[in-house]
Each structure stands twice: as C-alpha cells, then as structure tokens.
Structure 1
Amino acid sequence: MASSAKKVLVPVANGTEPLEAVVMIYVLRRSGAEVTVASVEKQLQVDACHGVKFVADSLLSDCSDAVFDLIMLPGGLPGGETLKNCGVLENMVKKQDAEGRLNGAICCAPALALGSWGLLKGRKATCYPVFMEQLASCATAVESRVVIDGKIVTSRGPGTTLEFSVSLVEQLYGKEKANEAVERSLLRPNPGEDYTFIELNQTKWTFDGSTPQVILPIADGSEETEAVGLIDILRRAKAKVVVAAVGNSLEVVGSWKVKLVADVLLADAEILTYDLIVLPGGLVGAQTFASCGKLVNMLKKQAESNKPYGAICAPSALVLEPHGLLKGKKATTNPSFCEKLSDKSHIEYRVVVDGNLVTSRGPGTTMEFALAIIEKFFGREKGLEIAKATLL
C-alpha cells in the first residue's frame, strides 16, 4: 500500500470547521492515502471552530514544494478567509489545477478560495448556502451536495463531508475503494432527509442551569471523527461540552493520527457532576476507557442517578456491556462488536435511545447521534434547526 498511497494535503487554520477537516482526514487515511495536515498559521496548534483544538502535522510553509495528488480545503470562518489570503496555498492550488491534479473544497472554501482565485470560471460548483450568491459570480452554481467538474470537486458543509470525501476516494482510487469507504464508515443511506432514531422507555432528559453540562472523555486511540463530531454539533446547540483526556497529557492522538487537545484531564473533571457522559469510539480508546476506574465509576454513578449516559461505536460493547451498564437496556454498536452485546435485538439501528441511555454505530452515524442528544435535551425543533444548519 505504501508504494501506491496517494498524497493528500489538508490545509487548516484558526477558525477551520473541525468536523469537515477531521472527516476528510479520516476517510482518506482509512482508504490508504498519505494525508498531511498542514497549518497555515505560524504554529502547529490550530484553534478551530466550536472550541476544538488540534495539532497539525506540519506548517504549510514546510511542504509548499511537495507534490500532492489531492489538495482539499475545509470550510469554516474565519478559517476560509485565512486560506483564501494565504499566497503560498493559492500558488499550490493553482499549480495543482494547471498540472491536472485534483483539488477539492467544501463549505465556504469553494466561493472564498477557489472562486476568488479564478479556478471556477466556466465550471460547475457548489458551496454552503449563504455563499451561493458569491459563488454564482465566479462559477456555475449548483445546489447539489457534491459537484464534480473535471479535476475540481466541491461540496456544501459539515453534513455533506462524508459524501464529499468518498467522492474524492473514488477520484483517487476508483469505485471499489469508494464503496469500501461507504460500508466502513456507515454512510447515511438517505442524506438530506430528516434524521431519525428509535426510542424505547421514553424518559424526559433534564438539566440544571441554562444548558446541559456534558463530559466527553478522549484517549489515545479514540475515534476522532466521532469525538469532534459530537463536540461540534453539541456546542452548536450551546451545550457546555468538557473534553476530558484520560491519561496524563491534554494532547491525545486519535485512531487515525489526528492530534486533539482536550480541555482538562479526567482526573480534574471527575469531581463535578454532568447532565450527560458520552463516549466516542475507537478500539484502543475504548479499551483505555474500560480500564479507567475513575471513568467507570462516573458512568455507574450516572446510571444509578438515572442521568443520561451513552456511547457510539466500540464503547457500547467494550465499556458499557462488561460493566453492567447495558443491563435491561436496548443498545447498538459498531458492526465489528455486535457479538459482544448480550442483547442483539437492536444492533441494526443507527441510533437507539432507551430511557437515559443513548447508543450509536460509528463515524457515519455521529451527526444523527448528536442530534438525538440535542432533541432529548432541547426538543425536536432544535434538533431540526441544527440539522438544517449543518446540511445533514
């Protein structure tokens, strides 16, 4: 695979949309590409939108002479403006286009960057709805979730990123590899339709204060797409999300080598109470969660207090099940771990809410999972509002 690996560049800046960037990285790396995350700032750490912090692999200036098979631009503000105003990046993308190699852009980036650089003249493209008028001044604007015109691929926003990334996998590796990416990621079968989830033993979720207090633990080997997706979507709804590192360092290396920076260490966060404890997936991360006495005790106290808790992907089977936290409950998990659940009656559902428990399947179900949580705390109207804003 190393000899055939395609080289991909993902430039990031302060104010980049983290869900878009991380999903791109996840899909391309999982498909075998060699992805370089390059900061256009003067330092490697990037303060992305919604308070998400991550560390790039290199500075853009250090890889400006490299040749890439694909350069893909995430959106977000002011990140998109920073990408647009970066002369080094502009030159790289223009050279990429002139030499017939792939460029991709999503959200505001098609209009702000590709359009302003003159690369969309005479081409069809799409972008986030509020930038469509600007896009129409420099391209044939199309209201599609993903648009491919020659060697330029564009897309609309966070909720279309998975489809966008799979399209780029197909451009680089072919249809078979793209189909594998769809299956592995659990891509939503009905993009653009209202999200749904199954609910049993309906219980009203409440919270003290003006907004829910949520703790999201992360560890080395946590699935960064799920972690960032939850943080991003829940913070859009104004939930207070505390990202707590399980270990001795705030910097955590995810399962696909994205370096995330937590807000606090779990050891410093466990003394407080939370309206929700929610675990992201990732095999190694889940194993760390399962062996962390502090976290397991927090989860048990949460369940005993009839307060909400949940997990997506592996932790349902590897953390909640072995510690008795699924007893008498219906749950789902990643297909790879379904056999570890004692009750498999609901494993085919993408999101399952059973009383104060919420579980989900994997990266491609993350946004639906987060929206189900928002709906339980804030109501259906708020969930649909966030779904519309993110173009799920």
Structure 2
Amino acid sequence: MALRLVVPHSALLGLSQFKVTSLKKRCFSISATMASPARKVLVPIANGTEPMEAVITIDVLRRAGADVTVASVEKQLSVDAGHGIKIVADALVSDCGDGVFDLITLPGGMPGATNLRDCAALESLVKKQAADERLYAAVCASPAVALGPWGVLKGLKATCYPSFMEQLAPCATAVESRVQVDGRVVTSRGPGTTMEFAVALVEQLYRKEKANEVSGPLVMRSNHGEEYTIRELNPVEWTFNNCPKILVPIANGTEEMEAVMIIDILRRAKANVVVASVENELEILASRKVKLVADVLLDDAANLSFDLIVLPGGLGGAQAFANSEKLVDLLKKQREINKPYGAICASPALVLEPHGLLKGKKATAFPAMCNKLSDQSEVENRVVVDGTLITSRGPGTSMEFALAIVEKLFGRVKALELAKAMLFVYP
C-alpha cells in the first residue's frame, strides 16, 4: 500500500530532536515523487527481552508505515519479556527463514539478548542480511551479546549499553554515541535511547522527511540525556504502606509504548504494579497492533485498594476506559479518598475531563486534545502534578511521566538513579 508523501509543515520538527552519529552513510531514501512501499522489518523477541526497547521500536516503525513482523525465538508466540510484561509475537523466527527483510532489528535486555544470540535461525537471518547488504540494527546489550559474536560488526563503529562496552570492543570500534549509524548498521545504548534509535531507523528505511513526520507527534524531548523537570502545583506527599500498589488498566487500542514504559519503569522501582484488562480477556491488541497480556481482568481488580491508578493513552484505549463504568467508579473513588491518580496522552482529555476528574485541577494532555480541557493554563508542560493528580502529553513524555511518579513515591534520588540506568539521563 502506498504511503502518503506530503508532509505537513507543522510536523517537520527536525531531527535535531535526537542526535544520530552517522558514518559511511547509506541512503535508503526514495524520490519524493514516487510512491513509497512498506518496508519489511523483522523484530525478534525472546524471554527476557527488554519490553520498552522492543515495543518502542515496533510502534515507531509501524507509525512510519513499515510492515513489521514480531517474531519469537522461543517455541511459542508468547514471550515473558522483562519486568513481568508478556508480549505475544506475530510469528516464530523459525518460520521466517524464507523472508526478505529491509531491516532486522534486535531489542536488548538480559537474558533476552543471550536468547536471541543462541537462536541459530536468527543468526542465519542476520548473517544473510549482512551478506546481502541490507540494514540491521540492535540496542542495549544486543550489539555486544549477539551482533558482535556473529561477526557482523567487524570494521564498524557501534555502541551498546555501557556495562557491555568491554565485551563489544573486540568485535567493533566501540563508541559512546546515543545512536550510531555506520553503513548498514544502526546501534544504540538502552531503553532511554530507544525512541531516538527507532526514529533513526525510520530515516534509514525511508527518508529524513518521514522521520520528521513520525517524530513530531511523539512529543520527543529536544534535550536528550539532560535531567527531566516536572511542573508541580499544590504539592502533597503521596503516601503508602510498605510497597505502593499501582493499577495500570489496558484495553484494545491502548498506546503500547506508553503502557509498557509506565509498567516497566514502575516495576524497576519495585512498585507492585497490577496490569488489568478492561476487555473480556487478558490479551489486548494495542494501537499499533502489539499484543500485550494483562495480569488480571479489571473485574478481578475492582474490589482492591490502590495507592495510584494511572491510565496510558491511545485513542481507542482511552475511549474504552471512558466507557468502563467500573474503571470510572474506581477513579472517582480514588479522587474522593484523596489518593493519587493520573493519565497520559488522550486519557486526560477523553477519560478524566468528561467524568469531572479534572475539576479544580491543572492538567496537560496530547497536544491535539488539549482544547478539550476546561483549564488549559498548564498544557504546555510535559508533566504536570497538581496535588494527587499527574498528567502528561504523549509517548515521548512517558519516561518523564513514569519517573515523576517514581519521584513522588520514592524521591528524586531514586528516580534519577533509574533514569541514569536506562540512559534517559546521562550517567
């Protein structure tokens, strides 16, 4: 299917939003006067894969119009990714051997990267990709753990997660770029650099204009690596007993990047996160067709008490939340007893506002939906905390949003420790 090539001027925010170091640049761009076919991309996943790195990459590439196959290296489609997040693949890697891909890109995570490395079928695919001079990529541990031992980084500059740099050094020229492009190979450092990495892959597959078009609505930061800030009004202490219990609802149409980043980061902070499906089954089909599996149905969580309820966005998901009487009742009860609740992207505008959950509060939302907020005085802020309410803007603000929650629950020192470990903030 042909992709529309006219890029709105307002969407051209420039790739200055992320820094990409490029050598021996290979042009995958096509003429703007010609139709752009969907590029075929393989994203392998495994038990132990870092879910943020997998899902951000898949989501951003599908936003660009790429035909992305998520393939499990395990014997089954469902994989137990890191931090208790379950992802269901589209296919098995063992069934993809005859495919021809414009890009094969590996997420990281441990032992996910090791499991990818030990998959003979995937190794053969990547070696053939290199021999055929097609694009391949990896992030976090995978450049050092998988691509390096396969011998496909020889003579190239590459980067990886800092603690794997020594392992990478014998296999490539190891550099500390957040995103490194060298010829047909793109590498990156960790969860906090993955959105930049994914947008760089879009540029390699299509063109710079397409990368700009995709990156604009993500609401990416312009100052990657610097400390994040939040806008806080009417500060109050968020309290809990022992370990904070947090409800994260998901639904068909939920924005998968936002959901996964929130869940992943809060579990890194050792919070007790309950992922609840508002649908009739645990498995949901998110907005960019990533299949996620909840821990419980919302019905099973409705009688429990939570220290925080936080809603990811996504247009379809937000509408499902707004139509769920049980979830709306939980949110209203949370507000009544003065316990924290929050939402990101479409959910402040489509769930909280219509149900009176923003009354007397300052909030923000996805830029195109801020006009639905009755009070728009703080909407330009990336994260807004007003007492027990926290809101944020979109996929590119999700890490700041989740880290702001960590900061409110555990303090800024803990939040910055996580931010540095993820490479979201310079270590």
- Place the TM-score, normalised by the shorter chain, in its bin: over 0.9
**Is 2:147 the partner of 1:108?**
no
* Pairwise CA distance, 1:275: 0.3
Deviations 1:157-205 (A, max 9, x none): 0000000000000001100001112201111111100111110001100
Determine which of 231, 234, 238 is the counterpart of 1:201.
234
Separation in 1, partners of 2:279, 2:155:
52
| Structure 2 SS opposite 1:160 | helix
Separation in 2, partners of 1:15, 1:378:
26
Q: Tell me which residue corresponds to 1:287.
A: 319
Determine which of 174, 194, 202 is the counterpart of 1:161.
194
Determine which of 248, 255, 258 is the counterpart of 2:280.
248
Deviations 1:247-279 (A, max 9, x none): 210000000000000000000101010000000
**Is 2:355 the partner of 1:323?**
yes
Deviations 1:190-222 (A, max 9, x none): 1100111110001100112x2110000001000
**RMSD, matched Cα:** 0.7
| Structure 2 SS opposite 1:366 | helix
User: Where has structure 1 moved over 2 Å in runs of 4 or more?
Assistant: none
Determine which of 17, 33, 45 is the counterpart of 2:50.
17
Residue identity opposite 1:45 in structure 2: S
Determine which of 150, 173, 189 is the counterpart of 1:140.
173
Determine which of 380, 387, 391 is the counterpart of 1:355.
387
**Is 2:347 the partner of 1:310?**
no
Residue identity opposite 2:418 in structure 1: I
| Structure 1 SS opposite 2:197 | helix
Separation in 2, partners of 1:143, 1:127:
8
Separation in 1, partners of 2:58, 2:279:
24
- Structure 1 residues not aligned, in runs of 5+: none
* Pairwise CA distance, 1:138: 1.1
| Structure 2 SS opposite 1:358 | strand
Residue identity opposite 2:249 in structure 1: P
Determine which of 74, 79, 92 is the counterpart of 1:46.
79
Residue identity opposite 2:211 in structure 1: A
Deviations 1:30-64 (A, max 9, x none): 00000000000000000000000010000111111
**Is 2:291 the partner of 1:259?**
yes
Separation in 2, partners of 1:332, 1:198:
10
**Is 2:153 the partner of 1:120?**
yes
Separation in 2, partners of 1:224, 1:186:
15
- Structure 2 residues not aligned, in runs of 5+: 3-35
Separation in 2, partners of 1:180, 1:352:
26
Residue identity opposite 2:88 in structure 1: V
Residue identity opposite 1:16 in structure 2: T
Q: Taking every aligned residue pair, what percent have the same amino acid on both sides?
A: 69
| Structure 2 SS opposite 1:244 | strand
Determine which of 106, 112, 121 is the counterpart of 1:73.
106
Determine which of 202, 208, 220 is the counterpart of 2:252.
220
* Pairwise CA distance, 1:16: 0.3
| Structure 2 SS opposite 1:190 | coil
Separation in 1, partners of 2:54, 2:317:
21
Q: Tell me which residue corresponds to 2:23.
A: none
Separation in 2, partners of 1:291, 1:231:
23
Q: Tell me which residue corresponds to 1:346.
A: 378
